[in-house]
């Protein structure tokens, strides 16, 4: 619920400022282990190495990426 609300507030402000259609949104998660190892991957939770960011991402860029383009 917090993420939905926060994203909604950001989107609302971007639309009010007239820059929404020229903004890229990337949603991802640091789903790696907090302790231990993600071997053979490098990195842990809260790090940008592949062992910390090992989940799909959602990307939207209005007017640049067509709707339904999966």
pLDDT tens column, 16-68:
999 988 888 787 777 778 888 888 888 888 787 777 776 667 777 877 777 77
Whole-prediction pTM: 0.55
Rg (CA), the chain: 16
**CB neighbour class for 65 (10 Å; exposed up to 12, middle 13-18, buried from 19):** exposed
């Amino acid at each position: 619920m917090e993420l939905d609300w926060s994203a909604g507030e950001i989107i609302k402000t971007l639309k009010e400022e007239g820059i929404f259609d020229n903004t890229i949104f990337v949603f991802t998660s640091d789903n790696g282990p907090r302790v231990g190892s993600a071997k053979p991957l490098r990195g842990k939770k809260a790090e940008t190495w592949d062992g910390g960011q090992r989940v799909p991402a959602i990307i939207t860029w209005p007017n640049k990426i067509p709707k339904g383009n999966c």
